[in-house]
Amino acid sequence: MGKISQRLVISAAAVVVSVSLAGCADLPAQVAAQIHPPGLSASADPNGSGQQTALDRFTAAAQTKIPSILASANGVFSAIDIASSPPDTIDYTYTYAKQIDPVAASQYFDGKSATLQASCDSDVFPAMKLAGITGTVHVVYTYVNADGSQIWSKDFTPSAG
């Protein structure tokens, strides 16, 4: 891979990480509290419907941020999908608009994993808990190339401590 192509991959990956972090921080605790009505407690609901409702509401609120995330990415992505996976997981999938080198991008994301973890620990996980999502919450980040092939994916859970 040439130096220009490698710089493009690194540059695009840097945008992805900054946009991902913005996606994490875009749903602060006060918004999570607003989407979780008082009295809707998953732990008080033995059937788990409160948990599912909280997860669905959190996901729906996060999905409203997709247009602004896409706009701030300046054409790097063709699509962003935010979905829930019961009982306690939010999946963020970013699809590149143009094909990039998957090996270089994967190495870059491996190097930024701690940054994504820290952002999730400080922003996303507390917001999920405030929204009523219980258990060991998860955030899965997946990056997909323009041809649909997966570049990188990681399941984040709260750090110990």
| pLDDT tens digits for range 138-151 | 999 999 999 999 99
Q: Where are the beta strands (DSSP E) in the chain?
A: 77-85, 89-96, 138-144, 150-156
**pLDDT tens column, 25-58:** 444 443 444 444 333 344 444 445 788 999 999 9
Query: What is residue 156's three-state secondary structure?
Result: strand
pLDDT of residue 161: 62
Q: Write the CA distances from 70 to 97, 120, 141, 144, integer angstroms.
A: 11, 20, 16, 15
Domain ranges of the chain: 3-156
